[in-house]
Amino acid sequence: MEYVVLGWPSDGPTLRLDYRRFAYAGKFVMSNTGKAVVRDGSSDSEEFDTDVLAALAFNADRTESDTLWYRYVTVRSDAKGEGLGPRLAVFVAPRAAKRGYERLRIAVNNPFAYEAMYKAGFEWTGRETGLAELVLERPADASEDVLATADSGTYQDGLDRYRERDLGEPEASFLADHVGADPPAVVTAPRQP
């Protein structure tokens, strides 16, 4: 498996993800965001980038030049649950720091994405977007030791926001199972040659 930044927003990278296997596939065709992927090297299609297991799109904040927004994280349907999304988010962080970004943010719209980004070292800021997404943030250059100190109260406060919503299954069961739980452990960065 290979983790790679395909390009930054100014490079205009695009991906052709199969909409039947990836949520948000159409968002990765746009060239105004940077892209990073996890790929397995097994491309067998001229129509889609079939070797991609997970993808992340990102761009600079319009008003805070030291902030990079993770816009979309998607994992191929047959690779979900393997931790690829959080590991890809962790992989991009130090590369963003090298480009001068101090802070990373993401807005998440469901408790599964919330949990995944906590695994990548993000923490809820207490803010929501106008679309009722929770805004999470982490330092771009934080060590794994620093990221391992997420606050349980803040974590539960974010989950409580989702509990206030009229969610169906499997979200409702996930939230019930996580009442009083500590934040998940932060994943380690993938080893790269």
List strand residue ranges (DSSP E) for 76-169, in order: 103-108, 123-128, 134-139
pLDDT category at 192 given cuts 50, 70, 90 is: low
The amino acid at 39? R
pLDDT tens column, 87-135: 999 999 999 999 999 999 999 999 999 999 999 999 999 999 988 899 9
Contacts of 39 (CB under 8 A, 6+ apart): 1, 2, 4, 49, 51, 52, 53
Instruction: Give the separation between CA 52 and CA 153, rounded to whole angstroms.
Output: 36
Query: Is the CB of residue 123 less than 8 Å from the CB of residue 151?
Result: yes
Q: Name the pTM for this structure.
A: 0.91
- The dihedral built from the CA positions of residue 121, 122, 126 and 132, taken in this order, carries a sign that is negative
DSSP output for 17-61:
--TTT-TTGGGGT-SSSEEEEEE-S----SSS-TTEEEEEEEEE-
